[in-house]
């Protein structure tokens, strides 16, 4: 699957020392709920039981890199989802203390195929994933686990693995965080979702999990959504149907997002008028620059933040939304 390139790009960024942690204050419950709400429906669709548990006070605020913590948890859950065909997946967060320091514990356990004991020592090495048979059956390269390991090291945390073939696997991550004793004042208003009623969106994304999550985000805002699994199919659909917005991944099979966007923008009106928003984990600025040059109005990095999504939609789609709302 070409979406593996997104992991390779992030891995490359870590390897060359370009990864920096962006510390900010956030509510632990919000982080937990966003992650849980992303994977619960995916497990339901697959017939897997999903259990999410937040063991800490819901009002706790932390200072840490929220985006990277989400990336760690989502990669762990993606791994569990991929290798679990029946049974359950459990996700939990807990604030703990060690040596008078605060740590966030993220735990993901599953009833999947398990990891052989002789493979557990190398499972975090780059481009390692069990054996060739496992790779052919389930896809991927194991870079997701390598990235998790590198991120945890960057955060000065710990990573523990427990697994038994035929029983399942459990990952336990502990990373240092700062508990905010006096959280900043927050306006207790529900998040205002962008109203996309009547608008059409095309999601061009070869990763099924990513496309399902993004589709749920958009449908929650009233969009009618279509999905294309590669850039070529995305271009073909965009040349037949006008979409108010196209969410475009970059690294895809057959045709990448940069070329697909370039071809869409070369179409006649109204098809060329679609707002194209890049949605990618690409770590290299030169690739992002190319996407802007061919016509992407904005670039959103993965994992997608719903607040950022609403902000971008308000900036580029407000007029279209008003027109559709006022049309008979």
Digit-coded pLDDT (tens) for 60-77 = 999 999 988 988 998 899
* pLDDT score of 11 more than 50: no
Residue 208 has pLDDT above 50, yes or no: yes
What's the pLDDT tens digit per position in 34-62? 899 888 888 888 999 999 999 988 789 99
Pick the range with the lowest mean pLDDT from 20-24, 112-116, 262-266. Answer: 20-24
pLDDT given at position 135: 42
State yes or no: pLDDT of 156 exceeds 80.
yes
Residues 6+ positions from 293 with CB-CB distance below 8 Å: none
The predicted model scores a pTM of: 0.63
- pLDDT(8) > 50: no
SS3 state of residue 91: strand
**Residue 190: predicted pLDDT:** 56
Residue 128 has pLDDT above 70, yes or no: no
Inform me whether the pLDDT recorded for 164 exceeds 80.
Answer: yes
Query: What is the reported pLDDT for 137?
Result: 43
In whole angstroms, what is the distance from residue 127 CA to residue 61 CA? 36
Q: Is the pLDDT of residue 324 over 70?
A: no
Q: Which fold does the domain 19-179 belong to in CATH?
A: Heat Shock Protein 90 (3.30.565)
The pLDDT of residue 18 is 58
Q: Do domains 19-179 and 200-326 have the same CATH topology?
A: no
Spatial CA neighbour of 295 closest among 259, 319, 327, 268: 259
Q: Which of the following CATH numbers is that of domain 200-326: 3.30.70.20, 3.40.50.2300, 3.40.50.300, 2.60.40.740?
A: 3.40.50.2300
Angle between helices 28-46 and 66-83 (to 10 degrees): 20
Where do the structural domains in the chain lie, given as residue ranges?
19-179, 200-326
pLDDT at position 195, please? Answer: 93
Confidence at residue 263, expressed as pLDDT on a 0 to 100 scale: 98
Contacts of 321 (CB under 8 A, 6+ apart): 194, 195, 196, 197, 198, 199
**How far is 61 from 230, CA to CA, in rounded Å?**
40
Taking residues 100-127, what's their average pLDDT?
A: 89
The contacts of residue 13 (CB under 8 Å, 6+ apart) are: 19, 283, 284
Is the CB of residue 61 less than 8 Å from the CB of residue 103? no
Kindly report, residue by residue over 231-242, the tens digit of the pLDDT: 999 999 999 999
What's the CA gap between 31 and 62, in Å, rounded? Answer: 10
pLDDT band at 16 (very low <50, low <70, confident <90, very high): very low
CA distance 81 to 204: 22
Q: What is the mean pLDDT of the chain?
A: 84
What are the Cα distances from residue 107, in Å, to 52, 77, 171, 267?
A: 10, 10, 6, 48
pLDDT for 317 beyond 80:
yes
């Amino acid at each position: 699957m070409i979406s593996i390139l997104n992991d390779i790009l992030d891995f490359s960024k870590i390897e060359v020392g370009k990864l920096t942690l962006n510390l900010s204050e956030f509510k632990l419950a919000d982080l937990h709920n966003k992650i849980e709400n992303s994977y619960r429906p995916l497990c339901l669709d697959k017939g897997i039981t999903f259990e999410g548990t937040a063991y800490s006070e819901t009002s706790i605020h932390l200072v840490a890199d929220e985006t990277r913590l989400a990336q760690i948890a989502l990669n762990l859950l993606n791994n569990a989802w991929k290798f679990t065909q029946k049974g359950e997946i459990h996700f939990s967060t807990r604030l703990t203390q060690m040596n008078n320091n605060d740590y966030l514990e993220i735990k993901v356990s599953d009833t999947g195929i398990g990891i052989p004991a002789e493979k557990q020592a190398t499972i975090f090495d780059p481009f390692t994933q069990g054996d060739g048979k496992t790779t052919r059956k389930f896809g991927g390269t194991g870079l997701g686990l390598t990235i998790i390991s590198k991120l945890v090291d960057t955060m000065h945390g710990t990573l523990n693995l427990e697994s038994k073939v035929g029983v399942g696997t459990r990952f336990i991550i502990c990373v240092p965080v700062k508990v905010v004793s006096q959280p900043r004042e927050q306006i207790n208003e529900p998040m205002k979702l962008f109203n996309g009623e009547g608008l059409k969106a095309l999601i061009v994304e070869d990763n099924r999990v990513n496309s399902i999550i993004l589709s749920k985000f958009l449908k929650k805002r009233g969009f009618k959504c279509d999905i294309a699994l590669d850039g070529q199919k995305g271009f073909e659909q965009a040349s037949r149907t006008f979409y108010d917005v196209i969410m475009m991944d970059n690294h895809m099979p057959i045709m990448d997002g940069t070329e697909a966007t370039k071809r869409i923008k070369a179409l006649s009106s109204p098809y060329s008028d679609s707002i194209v928003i890049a949605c990618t984990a690409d770590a290299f600025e030169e690739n992002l620059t190319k996407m802007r040059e061919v016509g992407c109005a904005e670039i959103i990095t993965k994992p997608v933040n719903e607040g950022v999504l609403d902000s971008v939609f308000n900036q580029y789609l407000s007029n279209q939304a008003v027109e559709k709302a006022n049309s008979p």
